[in-house]
Amino acid sequence: MSAKNKKTSKKETNTPRVILGTTETKLLESDLGNAYRFVLNERKKNSVLEIPGTPTTYVVSIKEEDATHKTKEKARQAGSALASILKRRSISSINISNKLKKTEWFLCFIEGLLLGAYAFRKYKTTKENSLFEKFEHDCDFLNEKDLDELLNIVYATEFARDLVNETPQYLDAVTFANEIKKDIIKCGAKAEILGKKQIESLKMGGLLAVNRGSIHPPTFTILEWKPKNAKNKKPVVLVGKGVVYDTGGLDIKTGGSMATMKCDMAGAAAVAGTTLAIAKNKLPVHIVALIPATDNRPGGNAYAAGDVITMHNGKTVEVLNTDAEGRMILADALSYAQKYNPELVIDIATLTGAAVRAIGDIGIVAMGNVDESCMNELISSGNHVYERIAEMPFWEEYGEMIKSEIADIKNIGGATAGQITAGKFLEHFTMYPWIHLDIAGPAFLDKASHYRPLGGTGVGVRLLYDFIKNKYVTNPTKK
């Protein structure tokens, strides 16, 4: 069930009880009765204990770490561990007795609990265990506005997960754009979907080339949240790769590597989710989101290795591999972003296998032309939400690897540093402060990891929301 339906209130009776604290919390015998000695002996061994001899009672212990962001992550993981138990037990609601000292720890526990309870069940025909959907709490020092903000962020993250987990036979580019628009406009944000004729008039050669093998038309979606009290005079522009299914085109993918390629629009889902979270929480920030979308298939008219494509900004690209399609559609969107005279542009994409080989599925590869302080703010947000950033070198020598003999640039470099040469390709289409994020590793998992589920993770939503809020709302002087 989506986070928007998870109701909260002050603690009530007749539902399972959760006692939440750190491993150092002094529990009273009156809290647990006869189970008190069991907890003293056992609670440090696991983050979640089910107490025998009691009406369903759980003790959740969070280990306090030296670094604040690590303690927050322990709280999320503890929430996720409890969510797993609640799923197995078909428990849909709980009472939380909070003994944590800090609001942020409590909120992180709730975040992990809700994200850990996520499941994509749209196509299930058999009845399964009930999903967790409601909690009550006695946390008197909690500001309910902070909790509402968190619930909206969780909802937006799960919105992105749902999009990534959808099937390719349902989610073509047009359906994808309409699904995004449907939720975005409910929050008061604007959404415009450009069709193929409009894309042709804009001369977006990269997007049109990738789309040539498809039976479905491409789309270019523009989202905008522009409140009257926006703190930034020039907008922040987010660009997300929206390849709704990637076969590789004529350079077709091999074996099982194609099975997860419905996730190749995870960057676009993250951009849509971030915009949704910002609009739902009414952040005073002007945001524009650009989503080029198509599938990449080997149809009879598909673009081919050897083609030279003229892009939206007039630059020419020699195509050496049709499976390097994401950068082609991102490039058109990045050059289109110039019309907004943006303060900052961030693109996010499942762009390269090289990013996965470099850091696995644990973190996000980043690079760009922004100053050190801006990148450090993003890294700080990555630590805060635990969507951590690995900044790559962006030396000019890498740009030499994508020079073409017959066009301005080519769409792949050599056998090494593929995640960086992809960024260098995109740099040719940026004339403003810019950050590139490659989420090829953490966007889609083949095995659940704490509150990151099997399948689409919604990575990027929490990161971008935290970064934008801190940079333009909480600490605007740091700009």
- Supply the CATH number for residue 85's domain: 3.40.220.10
User: Are 429 and 335 spatial neighbours (Cβ–Cβ below 8 Å)?
Assistant: yes
Q: Is residue 147 included in any domain, yes or no?
A: no
Predicted local confidence at residue 7, as pLDDT:
46
Q: Tell whether 405 and 458 lie within a shared domain.
A: yes
Q: Kindly state whether residue 146 falls inside one of the protein's structural domains.
A: no
Note the pLDDT of residue 139: 87
User: How far is residue 214 from each of residues 241, 246, 247, 293, 327, measured CA to CA in Å?
Assistant: 17, 11, 11, 12, 18
Establish whether 37 is a catalytic residue: no
- Examine the fold and report which residue of 110, 137, 164 is the final residue of a domain before the chain moves on: 137
Can you give the pLDDT of all 479 residues of the chain as single tens digits?
344 445 454 444 568 888 888 876 666 555 655 554 555 555 555 568 776 666 677 778 887 887 789 999 999 999 999 999 898 888 889 999 888 889 999 999 999 999 999 999 999 998 776 677 789 998 888 999 999 999 999 999 999 999 999 999 999 999 999 999 999 999 999 999 999 999 999 999 999 999 999 999 999 999 999 999 999 999 999 999 999 999 999 999 987 889 999 999 999 999 999 999 999 999 999 999 999 999 999 999 999 999 999 999 999 999 999 999 999 999 999 999 999 999 999 999 999 999 999 999 999 999 999 999 999 999 999 999 999 999 999 999 999 999 999 999 999 999 999 999 999 999 999 999 999 999 999 999 999 999 999 999 999 999 999 999 999 999 876 54
Q: What's the number of domains the chain is made of?
A: 2
Q: Which residue in this structure is represented by tokens 């970064």?
A: 467
Q: Which of 84, 105, 137 is the last residue of a domain?
A: 137
Same domain, 258 and 282: yes
Domain-ending residue, one of 137, 168, 203: 137
Looking at the domain assignment, is residue 145 inside a domain? no
Residues 270 and 382 occupy one common structural domain = yes
- The secondary structure of residue 18, as a DSSP letter, is E
Please report whether residue 142 resides in a domain: no
CA separation for the pair 180, 350 (Å, rounded): 19
249 shares its domain with 310: yes
Q: Is the pTM value of this prediction over 0.85? A: yes
**pLDDT, position 89:** 86
Question: Active-site residue 327, yes or no?
Answer: yes
Question: Which one, of 351, 431, 432, 428, lies nearest residue 392 by Cα?
Answer: 351
pLDDT at 5: 43
Residues 125 and 176 in one domain: no
Residues 308 and 362 in one domain: yes
Provide the domain limits for residue 233: 153-478
Residue 143 in domain: no
- CA proximity to 345, closest of 385, 382, 313, 374: 374
Residues 330 and 455 in one domain: yes
Helix (H, G, I), strand (E, B) or coil at 296: strand
Same domain as 273, residue 179 = yes
Domain CATH code at residue 316: 3.40.630.10
392 lies in a domain? Answer: yes
Whole-number Å distance between alpha carbons of 356 and 366: 12
- Check whether residue 83 and residue 165 sit in a common domain: no
Q: Identify whether residues 7 and 58 lie together within a single domain.
A: yes
Residues 114 and 250 in one domain: no
**H or E segment and range at residue 355:** helix 353-359
Catalytic residue among 327, 410, 452, 462: 327
What pLDDT does residue 41 have? 56
- CA 288 – CA 416 distance, rounded (Å): 34
Whether the CB-CB separation of 307 and 209 falls below 8 Å is answered with yes
125 and 157, same domain (yes or no): no
Q: What is the pLDDT of residue 45?
A: 54
Strands (E), 87-146: 93-98, 134-137
Answer whether residue 148 is part of any domain: no
In terms of DSSP bridges, do strands 7-10 and 316-318 run parallel, antiparallel, or are they unpaired? unpaired
- Of 4, 70, 134, 253, which is the active-site residue? 253
